[in-house]
Amino acid sequence: MKKLWILFIVLAVILSDVMCAVVAYSYCDLVWGGKYAGYSAPPSTAFAFAIPFLIAIAVCLAVAYVLRKKGK
């Protein structure tokens, strides 16, 4: 239990990296799809994919904070 907070910190870092990759891929897809495939959504809608990741990162950081306080 003492070192469990480190696991949640690592999970938050991994989630932030995955979030960047997902948003970048979606943005690029929407840019090129708008040019060549006729997508109607603007590329800025790709940033909506970041919302669930940001919530999960915040939860992981909150759990890590609580676990660290309980460990002290």
Non-local (6+) Cβ contacts of 43 within 8 A are 27, 30, 31, 34
Domains of the chain: total: 1
Q: What does pTM read for this prediction?
A: 0.89
- Domain extent, residue 13, equals 4-71
pLDDT in tens, 16-62: 999 999 999 999 999 999 999 999 999 999 999 999 999 999 999 99
CA dihedral 43, 36, 39, 16 (to 10 degrees): -30
